[in-house]
Amino acid sequence: MPSASSSSSSSSSSSASGSGRPVPSGLWRDADFRSLWAGQTASQLGEHASLVILPLIAVLTLEADAGRLGVLRAVGQTPVLLFSLLVGAWVDRWRTRTVMALSDLGRALALGSVAAAGLLGVLGLPVLLVVAFAVGTLSVFFDVAYQTSLVRLVKRDQLVRGNSALEGSRSAAQTGGPALGGLLVSLLSAPVAAASGALFFALSFLSIRRIRRHEPVPRHPGRSPRVRLRIHEGLRFVVGHPVLRTVGLASAAFQFSFAAMTTVQLLFLTRELHLSGTAVGLALAATGPGALLGSLLAARLPGRFGHGAVLVSAAVLGYGVLLCVPALHGPAAVTVPALLAVNFVFGAFGQLVNVTVMAVRQAITPDGMQGRVAATINFAGMGPAPVGSLLGGCLAQEWTLRTALLVTAAGMMLSPVLMALSPLARLGRALPAPQDVPSRTGGGMPMPRT
């Protein structure tokens, strides 16, 4: 992967160490980057385990139907819609490691309360709903801070390599998290399964607290603008930038359909294909090795074939393979290997899209806007997810599970269509330069140099 343009590189000095100590050319020789990587890995393990643990507890332990499962998933996703923009405005003025550490401490306590409720015999759907909302809220804080932290820790020409390393660890979490969650729910008990997620979040808290480098929080001249104005700046920047606007729209189309499909898929795997919790976890975990491959490809392919071409083709291949799932029939000996293959392909190309999009977004965005842009795109992308989860539950009740799964999987293909019709598809091999932020009293948004 070639370095970013010279103007991008020169503007990245504020992203290096605030103490004046340059980041080592080898990221793995940097103790602070290793602490960030280890904490993020543990956090992702806890998150991916809990994303399987809570729904499986609802389906297998509490015998929740499709409607209640859709409500549970929607409640966990609603905080993205409610809090993303506010969190983005705040994170731009806070130290990201403090936000990440406190968020994971809170998530550990929330999942620990599920374990306590199970041991006391009072675990029910209301408890899961409260915990899902709390974990979802804290996840908004962690995700926005996490996407901002790397920009403040490394140079801009290290963003692709840094994102590749971090996303590679996320792929490992995608392997271990669902498999661990499904195994614990099936073989042990709901309290033990919930406690495993809490343990990973606690480990993340301890690791992130070890980061010692002074973190440069962007300074703003004059009096600090109100939160509402800072949110408006972030929205205006994203909406006025054709590449970032497309990223938001394509993410919204994908996440809406993916949320609906996932709700139907959990029911399809357990009730139509009659898979156990362990088999479900194993099938979903196959995205992890695929995502690891995708992270490695993301460090090479965009620089060789162009960021736009890689994004569109990877999205078509990665999302399109899920159309094969509704056609599966037969015993577990047949369906589980097929699901492993499908999820491996989805993980590889989906991760290639994720890493490439994140590098493009971070390169385009000025340092002082990173939190708000990340939050705005998260808001646009994940905001429709609760509605998608509810829709998935409704479709699963009104239609056959195969039909509902086919329709929701087909909806994901709108995302690569939006990318193919936009300037995002025309991005070349070099990352675009950061775009200036327009004045709040100024005129229109200047055209980006893409």
- pLDDT tens, residue by residue, 330-370: 999 999 999 999 999 998 999 899 889 988 998 888 877 88
Q: Let me know: does 36 contact 149? Beta carbons within 8 Å.
A: yes
- What is the mean pLDDT of the segment spanning 14-34? 54
Which pLDDT value is given to residue 317?
A: 97
Query: Higher-confidence residue: 144 or 236?
Result: 236
Mean pLDDT of all residues belonging to the chain: 81
**pLDDT confidence of 224, banded at 50, 70, 90?**
low
The 3 state secondary structure assigned to the chain is: CCCCCHHHHHHHHHHCCCCCCCCCCCHHHCHHHHHHHHHHHHHHHHHHHHHHHHHHHHHHHCCCCHHHHHHHHHHHHHHHHHHHHHHHHHHCCCCHHHHHHHHHHHHHHHHHHHHHHHHHCCCCHHHHHHHHHHHHHHHHHHHHHHHHHHHHHCCHHHHHHHHHHHHHHHHHHHHHHHHHHHHHHHHCCHHHHHHHHHHHHHHHHHHHCCCCCCCCCCCCCCCCCCHHHHHHHHHHHHHHCHHHHHHHHHHHHHHHHHHHHHHHHHHHHHHHCCCCHHHHHHHHHCHHHHHHHHHHHHCCHHHHHCHHHHHHHHHHHHHHHHHHHHHCCCCHHHHHHHHHHHHHHHHHHHHHHHHHHHHHHHHHCCHHHHHHHHHHHHHHHHCCHHHHHHHHHHHHHHCCHHHHHHHHHHHCCHHHHHHHCCHHHHCCCCCCCCCCCCCCCCCCCCCCCC
Query: Higher-confidence residue: 88 or 202?
Result: 202
For the chain, percent of residues with pLDDT exceeding 90? 35
Query: Higher-confidence residue: 376 or 321?
Result: 321
The region of weakest confidence among 17-21, 31-35, 96-100, 115-119 is 17-21
Decide if pLDDT at 322 tops 90.
yes
- What is the mean pLDDT of the segment spanning 106-133? 90
Query: Higher-confidence residue: 208 or 189?
Result: 208
CB-based burial label for 6 (10 Å; 0-12, 13-18, 19+): exposed
Decide if pLDDT at 280 tops 70.
yes
Decide if pLDDT at 10 tops 50.
no
- pLDDT tens, residue by residue, 396-427: 999 999 999 999 999 999 999 999 999 999 99
Decide if pLDDT at 16 tops 60.
no
Which of 59-63, 81-85, 203-207 ranks highest by mean pLDDT?
A: 203-207
- What is the mean pLDDT of the segment spanning 254-271? 92
Which pLDDT value is given to residue 288?
A: 74
- pLDDT tens, residue by residue, 140-194: 899 888 877 777 776 666 666 777 777 777 666 766 676 677 777 777 777 777 8
Which pLDDT value is given to residue 329?
A: 92
Taking each helix axis from N to C end, the angle separating 125-153 and 96-120, rounded to the nearest 10 degrees, works out to 160
Decide if pLDDT at 7 tops 70.
no
**pLDDT confidence of 447, banded at 50, 70, 90?**
very low
Which of 51-65, 199-213, 303-317, 384-398 ranks highest by mean pLDDT?
A: 303-317
The region of weakest confidence among 84-88, 180-184, 430-434 is 180-184
Query: Higher-confidence residue: 165 or 297?
Result: 297
Which pLDDT value is given to residue 301?
A: 93
Q: What is the pTM of this model?
A: 0.68
- What is the mean pLDDT of the segment spanning 434-440? 57
Which pLDDT value is given to residue 20?
A: 37
Decide if pLDDT at 441 tops 60.
no
Which pLDDT value is given to residue 412?
A: 96
Which pLDDT value is given to residue 265?
A: 93
Query: Higher-confidence residue: 17 or 64?
Result: 64
Quote the tokens at residue 419: 């990318």
